[in-house]
Amino acid sequence: MSPARLLLPVLAATLLTAGCGSSGKQAPTATATTPAAPPGASARACSGTFVGTGEVRVTGVSCDAGRGVVSAWVYKRACTSQVGVSRFSCSVHGGYRCLGAATERGIAVSCARPGSSVAFIAKHG
């Protein structure tokens, strides 16, 4: 067998293992980018909360529209949490889909539709 044929497997194994592992000295680089929020999209706190709720925060919608979503959530029977259930969901007017999660402070509610969202804490009771 020729010396070149003997070295070929050794050379192939060396090349395959050369790309494996890391010296640990280089920080990993991110390859994915997070898209920027649309212009003007920022969460705002709304003054004057609905009875039985904490501060209302809106994104991409007016405070009046946000309070309307909160009102619809409060009065819609399907949006109340069931005993022993920690998470639930319902739909309210305007195409908003609301998700609720029971917490120590109350029910954390987040309602959203494409382009806007409303978040608040509903008191237990």
Is 80 part of a structural domain of the chain? yes
Query: Please, is 96 exposed, middle or buried when counting C-beta atoms within 10 Å of its C-beta (0-12, 13-18, 19+)?
Result: buried
CA distance 108 to 29: 36
Q: How many domains does the chain have?
A: 1
**Residue 60 belongs to what domain range?**
44-122
Here the tokens at position 71 are 């009102």
Is 26 part of a structural domain of the chain? no
3-state secondary structure of 72: helix
Is 37 part of a structural domain of the chain? no
Is 91 part of a structural domain of the chain? yes
Q: What is the percentage of the chain residues whose pLDDT exceeds 90?
A: 31
Is 99 part of a structural domain of the chain? yes
Is 12 part of a structural domain of the chain? no
Question: What phi and psi, each to the nearest 5 degrees, are found at residue 108?
Answer: -80, 120
For 77-99, the pLDDT digits (tens) are 888 767 778 898 999 988 999 99
What value does the mean pLDDT of the chain take? 74
Give pTM, 2 decimals: 0.63
